[in-house]
Structure 1
């Protein structure tokens, strides 16, 4: 297993990975065109965990707004869990953001994703924000 930047060519494999992972919602923003736009705006930040045959074993989408990093879709496929790969993806993402001067990051975790919630609760330096609410729009 090794970690490398995600490319547009990885899209189909990642969609499959996300769809089979409980706690991940695949939405219109995950379709190929917005996915590629995200990668172009955040070059070499999003990460793929890949096995020796080139198959996707995990991923983490990473972006920033110039001040804060934003992490999405941290996934390690079931056969590869428990080996520290989620932490490795996270550490590499934070390292890459730090090289850009980004030291503070946010992650949004669905309440219906207990494994993800447990992962983030165990991560040193990460805490639940009780002082803010997130509002979203679909752009309609």
Structure 2
């Protein structure tokens, strides 16, 4: 198993992984063109976990706005869970952000993703916020 930066050529494998993972909600921004634009705006930040055969078994999309990091699609395929890989992806992402001077990050976790909620509740240094609400455009 190894962690490396995500490249545009990884898109098809990642889509397959994301589609088979409960708790991941795909949207138009996950299609190839916006995915590649995201990687270009955030070079070498997004991470892929691959098995010894080179198959994508985990991911973490990582971006920033110059002040804060933003994390999306943190997941490890079910056969590889419970081995610390999600935490390793998270630590590597935070390390890479810190090299850019970004020390605070946000993650948005869907309420209907109990495994994801449980993961984040157990992470030291991360706390659920109840002082803000997030509003997003509907895309209509």
TM-score w.r.t. the length of structure 1 is 0.98
> 1:138: Cα distance to partner?
3.6
Aligned to 2:127: 127
Q: Does the residue aligned with 1:132 lie in a helix, a strand or coil?
A: coil
Task: Report the alpha carbon displacement of residue 16 of structure 1 after superposing the two structures with TM.
Answer: 0.5
Query: Which portions of structure 1, spanning 4 or more consecutive aligned residues, are displaced by more than 6 angstroms?
Result: none
Aligned length: 140
Q: What is aligned with 1:100? A: 100
| Alignment partners' CA distance in 2, 1:117 and 1:16 | 22
**What TM-score do the two structures reach when normalised by structure 2?**
0.98
The CA deviation at 1:129 is 0.6
Query: What RMSD over aligned residues (CA atoms) do the two structures have, in Å?
Result: 0.7
- Give a deviation string over 1:66-93, Cα, whole Å, max 9, x none: 0000000001001110100000000000
User: What aligned pairs does 1:35-114 form with structure 2 within 5 A after superposition?
Assistant: 35-114=35-114
Give the CA deviation at 1:34. Answer: 0.2
Unaligned runs of 5+ in 2: none
For residues 137 and 76 of structure 1, the distance between their equivalents in structure 2, rounded to whole angstroms, comes to 28
CA distance in 2, matches of 1:69, 1:128: 16
Which 5+ residue runs of structure 1 have no aligned equivalent?
none
Give 1:139 deviation, angstroms: 4.2
Shift of 1:54: 0.6
Q: Superposition pairs for residues 15-34 of structure 1, below 5 Å?
A: 15-34=15-34
